Structures are given as C-alpha cells and as structure tokens.
Structure 1
Amino acid sequence: MSDATHAVAVPAPGLLSKFSIRDAGTLIGLIAIIAIFGILSPNFLTQQNLINILQQSSINACIALGMTLVIISGGIDLSVGPTAAISAVITATLLVAGTPVPVAILAGLLIGAVCGLVNGVLVAYAGLQPFIVTLGTLSTYRAIALIYTGGNPVLGVPQGFRTLFNGNVAGIPHSVIMVAIVALLAWILLKKTPLGEYLLAVGGNEEAAYVAGVPIAVTKITAYVISGILAALGSMILIGRLGAAEPILGNLWELDAIAAAAIGGASLMGGKGSVIGTILGAIILGAMRNGLTLMNVQAFYQLLATGLIILVAMLIDRVTRGRG
C-alpha cells in the first residue's frame, strides 16, 4: 500500500485519545447506573444478578459488535433481527433433523453471512443507501423466515447444542465467554489489521479513501458479512437458552444494537467507533433493563429509555464532532 493510503487509513493519535476518553466516559456511566440501581434495589448487586446481566447482555453485545463495524464503514444494518431469525430457524431445523451440531452451526453462520453479503453487494455495487437496502431486507428476511416455518416455532433443539451455548465454566456462562472472544477478535481486526484501517478510512472520508486506493466495495461488503455472521451467532445463543427457534425472533434487535454502538461512541456519520465502548454500551442497556425490571417498571418504559439514550448519545457525538 502506498504512503498516501496509509495516511488516510490510520487514525491520528488525537482521534485515538478521543476514543479512549469516550470509553472512559462510557465506563463511568456504567458505574453510575450500577451504583444507582444498587441503592434502589437490594438484589441488584448480588453476584448471581450481575452474572445474569452479563448473560442477558451477551446477545446484544454480539449483534452490536457487527453493527459497530458497519457503522464505522459509514453504513447501517437494520436487518440484523430478521437475519438472526432466518439463521435460527434453519439451524434449529437441521438440529431437530439429526444434523451434527458443528454442521448445523456452520450452516447457520453461513446463512447469516449470505444475508450480510446480499446487503453489502446492494450497498457497494448497486449504489443504494444502506438505510434503504437494509430496511428492505429487514422485511424480506423476516418474510422468508415466516414462510420457511409457516409461522410456527421450531421446537426440540437437542440438549447438546443447548449445553454448548447455555452452559457455564466456573459459573461464567458460555455465552459471555463467546462474546468476550468475539470482542477480542473485533478489537484486533479494527486496531491491528488493514481491514480495520480501511473501515475507518471509508467511513471517515470515502472519496479520499478511494483516491488513496482503499478497496471500497470489498471493505463495505466485508463489514456487512461480519454483521450477518454475528447476528447468526447471537440467534444461536438465544435458541440455546430457549431450546426453540421462532421466525419472529430478533424483533427490534437492530434498535438495541444501534443503541449499544452509539452509547459506546460510534458515530452514525461513519469513521468512528469503539469495540470496548460497544461492549460497555451493551452492558449499560442490560443493567438498565435489569434494574428497571427489579423495580417492577413496565417494559414499554424500558423501550422509551432506550430511545432516549440513543438521542443523548447522538447529541454528545454531534457536540464532540463540532469541537473536533
């Protein structure tokens, strides 16, 4: 790669320090939420409940990591929920039919990758807006899942699969360990590989990235494929917990994923995002919902809180960009 490409792709030291400051702010926000609910509810700070929060946050964290990569590239993926649904029902169908667990898992992940590939190709080569593309595939993928199952859940997921995704090691749920590994891989991808540099470059200034020789189309497509794969993985965590897959699975997962990424410092304008921040954002949402549930607050108020958090995060991003 030429020096010009490298100059475009690598974030400036000042930008990296801003990411670190934002991550610290997100961590402080999480600590504040934990402290508040710890005071308001005596059951909040118990060891079992804190583990429950991490487990409940694992699915959103998994989806949000893929969403973060897409957002950094300047896109958005509204189809993660229906993508997860297609993957879930096909994986569950294969498992119930006696397909070996590794084969069923690979098939489910492949379905997620194909869904992401369709999104990426339409965005990169058809020149369509990511919002419009994924809004369309949101409905399309959901319809496919409903047609495939006839609108019925797939029951009887084998215990071996459930243990793999819903077991624990020394009290730590497998899902938490899996997402921690995914987060580490995402961090390495973003910080230590050319693809990470390309994602930041394309999202920050696509025209400059093109002039510098960055493979724009491949970069965008790769981000959507990863998002699809992680949506599929998130669905497997859920069906491992429930023992069944429903075609309506994943409703509003895109909202939670965008919220986690936004709380963690990702900018919907592209070119900015943090793996650590996204994980903290997912835990913030999980802790908030857990605390509100313990206080017997109705679910639609929790949805209201999620929407308000997204708006506040976007306002903070607007202010910090204006100052930058």
Structure 2
Amino acid sequence: MNDTPIMSATAPPSGFEANRAKAVRRLVQTLGIGFFYILVLVFFSIASGNFFTYSNALNILTNVAVIGIVALGQALTIISGGFDLSVGGTMPLGAVLFALFSNAGYGFPLSSALVLAAGACVGLFNGLVITKLKINPLIATLGTLSITSGLAFTVSDGVTIPLTDAADGWLADFAFNGVSYYLLAFAVLAGAMAVLLRFTLFGRMLYSVGGNREASHLAGIRVDAVTVAVYMICAALSAFAGIVIASQLLAGSATVGSDAALSSIAAVVLGGASLTGGIGGIGGTLIGVLILGTIANGMVLMQVPAFYQQIATGAILLLGVGFARLRESLSQRAG
C-alpha cells in the first residue's frame, strides 16, 4: 500500500494563499479609497452647480496630470521602502534645462532626452548615496533637494527663461476635444507603471524589497540595484514633469513645482501605500491624485481662499498616514 501523502486539490500552497490574501487586501483598499472619492464628488456636486460638467472634469484631469506624473515615480520609491523629497528640485531643474536646451536650438526630442538623462543622473546619485553610503532616504533626498533647487536657480540666473520657439511647447497643445498631449502622456505612463508593478519580475522584486530588504537579499534579489533603478525612474519622471510645466508656461522657471514632494507623497499615501514599504499600487495612487485635484478644484469653485488649499493638503496627508497606520495595525492583529 502506498503511504505517500496525497495533496488535496482543494488546498493550494501557502504562498498562493498569501499572495491571494495580499491581492484581496489591495483590492479592498482601492475600493475603499474609490468610495471616499465618490463621496468627495457628491459633496462638491451639491456645493457647486458648475462642478459636475465635462469641461470641469477635463480641467481637473489637466491640472492633476503634472503632479500625477511625479506621483507615479514617488509610488515606486514608497513601495520600495523609501521616498524622494528631491522631486521638488528635480522638476523645476528639468523645466529650466528644457528651456535652455530648446533655446540653444536642440529641438524638442534632443532637449527632452537630455533633460530626462539629467533627471536620471539625479536619481542615480540618490540611489548610490542611499545604498552605498547607507544614508537614510529622508536625509539623502533632502540634501539633493537643496542641490537641485540651487542648480535650477544657478543655471537660470534666478529669472524665468521664455521659450524662443513656442512650437517646442507642443505637449501643452490639444490632441482632441480639449485633451492635451501631456494628459495623454500621463495616461500612457500610468498604464506602463501599472504593468511594470503588476506583471514584471522587477515589480515583484520591488514589493519584496519594500516588504523585507534582508529577506530579499537572502533570496538572491539585488536589493541595491533595484533601489537605484527606482530612484532613477522617479527622478526621470520628475524631470519629465518639468518639461510639461515648461510647455504649459512656454518658459522654464526655478520656482515652479516646489510643493511636488508634499503633494506626490500625499497622493501616494492617500492611495493606500504604506510608508514602511511593500504596499501600494498605481490604481490607488491615481485615485489619491484625483482626490487632491478634485478638492482643490472644488474649493476654487466654492471661492475658498487659495492658501486654504495648502492647509487641506497637509490635513489630507495626515489623515492618509493615520489611516495607513490603522490598516497596518488591523492587518497585524488579523495575521
């Protein structure tokens, strides 16, 4: 008689169960955030008769596209267990460099490539400082924020640099029905980031590194290489956001995008990501960006003074972190 135990077909491996449980939790979190966003939409629809229109919806999407591009990269760094404060300097530096390169006659493709390369170099610097010098991401990226902000003011001599050829700002032109090219670019980038996280080996390694760096290293994952790559992607996206800003303004300025760090982190955390790493996604990040943009838009329609929007952003960030900590506590008790 064969005494070999037979595995039940109805009992999947424990790893499968763990992955499925994580997927269910992410889905529940996204649905919960989506429900909150619906409540926000209902509130402003009642508060302002001009809110629920196609033109205003398009206005919201257009306004959140720039910070949304930054938030896509920020989501990767937060999932990896860090964050990037230097986006607040990389974005204006990208805008200034794009204006300088364009005015030098390099044209849009080469100017954009050079700006993206400069952004990637900033991310490479961040990644190496964090992984090789073992400096905390808060301190490392805060230092880089000062460096990049200073560089933006230095290369621009502290003045706004208008684009000599307005055609170089074609990203801000309309593709169709009031939809700009940079809004389409944002949608494409969001789709690409979602695929990267969901269906690629790099995405799986990223979640693993954010969840437990030591275990990931023991499992053979090149933790330092993944971390450096994440910061390079984040900085390159921030530089691209600078190109978009320059296209909107037809000028490069060292003063634009200084609040990119706070807004992008707020959007990602509000979207369900954990500041301890290993949790988050593009879907939740997009909803977080929309919540911030919708609240700002609704406050404008309600004629609320502009500085209250900064107060609202800070309050939303604190609420997002509070809810994230509550979710982690409940998950630990359930586990």
Equivalent position amino acid for 2:301 in 1? L
Structure number, greater radius of gyration:
2
Shift of 1:44: 0.9
User: What secondary structure, in the 3-state scheme, does the structure 1 residue paired with 2:277 have?
Assistant: coil
Shift of 1:298: 1.3
Pairing partner for 1:222 from 229, 232, 246: 229
Pairing partner for 2:186 from 167, 179, 192: 179
Matches for 1:1-324 after TM superposition, within 5 Å? 12-324=19-331
- What is the alpha-carbon distance in structure 1 between the residues aligned to residue 25 and residue 167 of structure 2? 45
Equivalent position amino acid for 2:166 in 1? Q
- What is the alpha-carbon distance in structure 1 between the residues aligned to residue 163 and residue 181 of structure 2? 21
- What is the alpha-carbon distance in structure 2 between the residues aligned to residue 273 and residue 39 of structure 1? 31
- Contact 2:77–2:231 (CA under 8 A) maintained in structure 1: yes
- What is the alpha-carbon distance in structure 1 between the residues aligned to residue 18 and residue 148 of structure 2? 36
Equivalent position amino acid for 2:267 in 1? A
- Contact 1:65–1:278 (CA under 8 A) maintained in structure 2: yes
User: What secondary structure, in the 3-state scheme, does the structure 2 residue paired with 1:12 have?
Assistant: helix
| CA offset digits 1:145-176 (Å, max 9, x no partner) | 11111111111252222223332323322222
- Contact 1:124–1:217 (CA under 8 A) maintained in structure 2: yes
Shift of 1:25: 1.3
In structure 2, the residue matched to 1:3 is: none
| CA offset digits 1:173-219 (Å, max 9, x no partner) | 22221111101110111011111111111110111111111110000
| CA offset digits 1:279-303 (Å, max 9, x no partner) | 1110110010001011111122111
- What is the alpha-carbon distance in structure 2 between the residues aligned to residue 191 and residue 157 of structure 1? 42
- What is the alpha-carbon distance in structure 2 between the residues aligned to residue 91 and residue 298 of structure 1? 33
User: What secondary structure, in the 3-state scheme, does the structure 2 residue paired with 1:70 have?
Assistant: helix
- What is the alpha-carbon distance in structure 2 between the residues aligned to residue 132 and residue 15 of structure 1? 31
Q: Which moved more, 1:312-321 or 1:282-291?
A: 312-321
What is the alpha-carbon root mean square deviation over aligned residues? 1.5
Equivalent position amino acid for 1:320 in 2? R
Shift of 1:29: 1.4
- What is the alpha-carbon distance in structure 2 between the residues aligned to residue 18 and residue 171 of structure 1? 37
| CA offset digits 1:82-112 (Å, max 9, x no partner) | 1111111111111112212100011111111
Equivalent position amino acid for 2:36 in 1? G
What's the TM-score once normalised by structure 1's chain length? 0.95
Equivalent position amino acid for 1:18 in 2? R
The alignment-based identity, stated in percent, is 34
- Contact 1:165–1:236 (CA under 8 A) maintained in structure 2: no
Shift of 1:17: 1.0
Tell me: CA distance 1:257–1:157, structure 2 relative to 1, closer, same or farther (3 Å): farther
- What is the alpha-carbon distance in structure 2 between the residues aligned to residue 142 and residue 11 of structure 1? 43
